[in-house]
């Protein structure tokens, strides 16, 4: 296996690096899953550069390594299925739309140009998810989503940031460390969908969450577990600032 992978600037997270979910999903397409290992786990080692070709190299046991010169950017490997027994029940699209006004990113967003949840992005060019807290369900958030495109990378991006907001990323900047996702089916373009997200605990700078993508009829399309790492707020540069 040998391939070149580039993260276009459209798919940024922080303004100068790739969206963690989209980048992870892009690398996951280079991994061959199996019935025993249908999910893919991606570990991000350093911020993915934008608009620069990177190499995908084979690792051990089906692993794919994403490298930028001599720097290991990320690694991906097939893993056993994610547990599904205790997934939070989805809300309706209307309910998810109704909590969008409580989206904390409207008032305090560490990365407003983010492809997945940025408030400075055009809905015609980004997901613009607005995960809000679900009343009466502590730690559970929901986001309404009508996909304009449907690819594995976009699904990973949709499963990415809502989890951070369920963890309280507003006022506490975090970056994605590890994301494991299992995609059963791609969403239908132009149809109503809901992304559910929930906090799963914290220890020091590490924070864990789960996310799931549902069709309007309640069908589970994809799910993910993620580990987020809290970063020093002083290291977050305003959009347009110098490198």
CATH classification of 3-79, choosing from 3.30.390.50, 3.90.650.10, 3.10.129.10, 3.40.50.300? 3.10.129.10
E strand intervals along 106-205: 132-133, 140-145, 174-183, 193-203
Sorted by sequence, the CB contacts under 8 Å of residue 74 that are 6+ apart come out as 23, 24, 27, 42, 43, 44, 45, 48, 65, 66
Residue 242: pLDDT band with limits 50, 70, 90:
very low
187 — phi, psi (to 5°)?
-70, 160
- Among residues 24, 15, 9, 17, which one has the least CA distance to residue 160? 24
What is the arithmetic mean of pLDDT over 186-199? 98
Residue 241: pLDDT band with limits 50, 70, 90:
very low
Residues of the chain with CATH 3.10.129.10: 3-79, 93-233
145-185 pLDDT, tens per residue?
999 999 999 999 999 999 999 998 877 778 899 999 999 99
Q: Are 150 and 187 in contact (CB under 8 A)?
A: yes
What is the arithmetic mean of pLDDT over 85-110? 95
Residue 233: pLDDT band with limits 50, 70, 90:
low
As given in the structure block, the two tokens for residue 138 are: 């502590």
Domain 93-233 has CATH 3.20.20.105: no
């Amino acid at each position: 296996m040998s391939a070149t992978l580039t993260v276009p600037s459209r798919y940024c997270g922080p303004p100068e690096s790739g969206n963690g979910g989209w980048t992870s999903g892009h690398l996951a397409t280079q991994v061959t899953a199996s019935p025993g290992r249908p999910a893919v786990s991606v570990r991000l080692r350093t911020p993915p550069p934008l608009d620069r070709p990177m190499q995908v190299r084979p690792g051990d046991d089906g692993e794919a390594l994403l490298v930028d010169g001599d720097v290991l950017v990320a690694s991906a490997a097939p893993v056993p299925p994610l547990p599904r027994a205790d997934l939070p029940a989805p809300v309706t699209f209307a309910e998810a739309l109704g909590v969008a006004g409580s989206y904390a990113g409207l008032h305090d967003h560490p990365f407003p140009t983010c492809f997945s949840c940025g408030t400075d992005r055009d809905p015609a060019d980004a997901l613009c998810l607005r995960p809000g807290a679900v009343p009466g369900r502590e730690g559970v958030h929901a986001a309404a989503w009508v996909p304009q495109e449907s690819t594995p990378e976009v699904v990973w991006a949709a499963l990415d940031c809502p989890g951070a907001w369920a963890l309280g990323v507003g006022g506490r900047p975090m970056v994605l460390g590890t994301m494991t996702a299992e995609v059963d089916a791609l969403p239908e373009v132009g149809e109503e969908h809901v992304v559910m997200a929930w906090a799963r605990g914290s220890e020091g700078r590490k924070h864990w969450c789960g996310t799931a993508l549902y069709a309007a009829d309640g069908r589970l399309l994809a799910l993910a577990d993620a580990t987020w790492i809290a970063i020093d707020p002083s290291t977050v540069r305003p959009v347009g600032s110098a490198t």
